[in-house]
A and B are shown apart, each in its own frame.
Chain A
Amino acid sequence: MYTFLKKDILVLFRDRTELAVLLAMPFILIAILGFALSGLLSGNSEVLSMDVAIVQEDNEQLGLEQFAEELNGSGIPAEARSRIMAAAQETSPSSILQGILTDESLRELVTAQEMDTAAAAEALEEEEVVAILTIPENFTLNALQKMLMDTGGGAELELMIADHAATQSEVFTDILEEFVWSLNFESAIAQAANGEAPAPEETSVQFGGVESVSAVQPISSFQYYTIGMAVMFALFVGATISGIAFVEKQQFVLNRILLSDQHPFVYLGAKAISAATVTFLQFCILFFFSSLLFGAFDLTNWSFWPGMLLIGFTLAICVGALAAFLTALTMRFNNDSITTVFAGGVVTIFAFLGGSFTPTEGMPDSIQKLGGWTPNGASLNAFLIWLQNLEIVLLWEPLSRVLLLTIVLLILSLLIFPRKGEA
């Protein structure tokens, strides 16, 4: 295998045209798209940053006192009362909401200003704020009653959003929905635990995953397109290796290899390994130089690179299987137009579906689903999850898709590739 691998890499690296396609072209596209679309995908949150007005009609301290009075008159045993009161002070919804809106991770995204009702309405009118969040009178009392004693009708927040900033408004709504969900979740736990509130650490974890778009860990346009182009041009490696295989057949080199009594599957396996190795090298080169030239990634962040390389390695294996599949088809039909069509058309379609040119989030669900099942699209999702510093467990879904595609392609390759005497 090593002999074949060394030979394939030598042949590829001496072909300047192929090298230009596999290495130079992605850099050119990263530069063009990175600069041209930096506004759209900017990770500094300028586009998504928003000012919101907070109208505070609730008096938290008074609410807590009223809740304590009500609790004392409820006939609940003293020990339970003190536990509930402690929970009320720890999970006071008004404090938690304030905490979220001034949280470190949201500071760049949301600027909350406390205003009175009239000033807030004017600010919304003047498009100075994208939303007005009103915390109504007795919010604390009503919320605690519902959360900890399961009495009353609960509390409601009032949100007024602007028409002029749909995306920002949507993001802010998401933040509040996450807050409400977390609060309800906690109150359910608190009630189940008979008034014992969850530990503060858990609370902050709940609020840590507030937004998933670009608020958690912003992605710059150069980061996005480095990954987007890397996963797209990885597919070209599959076509290139398959193209080399066809030339080997045309020039009777394959016959020479078979005459040395090598099993045809050894040859096919060697093609897969060559493609996987070249793809992985391509990733390393693209990531390294994109970091160096465009500052896409921090080269000294040692905890960041293992994840990137793992995802790259998984896609590289899939590209190896893809190269084997294309080689098998080319050999079976003795025609390299399959490879030509793949490189000339299918890769572009896959790149579009997979989000290499533009994020698929705004596209129809069907396209997003299809894209998620392309090797490049699934890998791109995995890279984004890793870049956004989301939970590692989320990587499993896209990576398992890539592995599944790998297995399917390998099985098909073995079934299609001509056996002895047929090649």
Chain B
Amino acid sequence: MLETEELKKVFKGKTAVEGASLYLDKGESVGLLGPNGAGKSTTISMISTLLKPTSGDVRLNGKSIIKNPSEMRRILGVVPQEIALYGELTAYENLKFFGRIYGLSGKALEGAIQRSLELVGLAERQKEIVKTYSGGMKRRINIAAAMMHEPEIIIMDEPTVGIDPQSRSHILEMVRQLNHEKGLTVLYTSHYMEEVERLCDRVYIMDHGKIIASGTKEELKSILSSEETVWIELDRPYPAFFKDLQSFKVIKQAVETEKGIKLILPKGSRILGEVFQASERHQVEIINVNVQKPSLEDVFLHLTGRKLRD
């Protein structure tokens, strides 16, 4: 349905995206993962016709949309990372405005407003000024505004950033419904790996402007089929201990968090003895040690050398 071919974007001599090729089949839900500055938003802007690529092409049903974006815009809904709404207007007034600029009027407009409000669960509070909403409610209206013209493809750029777990859960369930029950094609970016794992059939991983891996979740996890993850839970960070572990040649990746250290290493590596010896040397209190199968997050770490939220 939608495909990009070798998309490239250069801003003032700096390459933001290079050779990005991806595709979305009708009714598919696809995740686009990458740390900040990986080129996700630039890629999304080119796909959604807001930015002209320096080179490459975007095709909708085989036809290029670079010079004729109208067809794409008609069937595309975009949920930006920002709250792209008028804070001084009510939810109803916002949706009415966005519906009107898509050419809706009369009963069709009123129907679209109420349908979108029902979808995001805010029909009861439609007459309230948006700036008085909680962060989660704003995010939901942000999605409703993109759904006013009943798009066939929706691009969601980090739609759950900075909201409470209840709103996040509501949004994820809504996206799942739109994809599974209404057949909407979804391109979803997020910093939350579990969201992508829960919602997406396939995943593209971007870093430094390039797509460095793609496939189904299982295909990506198989990248680390010969590795395993060791999670060492600590009471607090111990930088010297972490530095010591990094010097172990057998360890492929090591990441320190506030709660502990994650190590990726070849399956069957006998390393725990040395880890405990090091903890004694640095007087580190280990709370728990857990050996796991690699997750998608581990794949990401393995491929980019960075955590998703870096």
- Which chain A residues have a beta carbon within 8 Å of chain B's beta carbons? 3-4, 7, 10-11, 14-15, 251-253, 255-262, 420-421, 423
Contact = CB atoms under 8 A, between A and B. Distances in A.
B84 A3 contact: no
A251 B76 contact: no
A11 B86 contact: yes
Nearest to B85: A253
A3 B51 contact: no
29 contacts: A4-B101, A7-B89, A7-B93, A7-B97, A10-B89, A251-B82, A251-B84, A252-B82, A252-B84, A255-B78, A256-B98, A256-B146, A257-B101, A258-B50, A259-B49, A259-B50, A259-B73, A259-B78, A260-B73, A260-B98, A260-B101, A261-B69, A261-B70, A261-B74, A262-B101, A420-B69, A421-B49, A421-B50, A423-B50
A259 B48 contact: yes
A256 B73 contact: no
Nearest to B51: A421
- Sorting the interface of chain B by its residue count into under 10, 10 to 19, 20 to 34 or 35 or more gives 20 to 34
Contact of A253 (B74, B86, B93): B86
Residue from B70, B74, B86, B102 with most neighbouring chain A CB atoms (10 Å): B86
Interface string B106-137: 00000000000000000000000100000000
Nearest to B77: A259
Given A253-B86, A255-B80, A259-B76, A3 B97 contact: yes
Contacts of A258: 50
Overall SS of chain B's interface: loop
A133 to B, nearest CB: 66
A10 B93 contact: yes
A252 B82 CA distance: 7
A420 to B, nearest CB: 8
Contacts of B86: 7, 11, 253
B52 interface: yes
A56 B258 CA distance: 107
Nearest to A420: B69
B261 to A, nearest CB: 38
Interface string B60-88: 00000000011001101010101111101
A250 B172 CA distance: 26
A4 B51 CA distance: 24
A251 B97 CA distance: 16
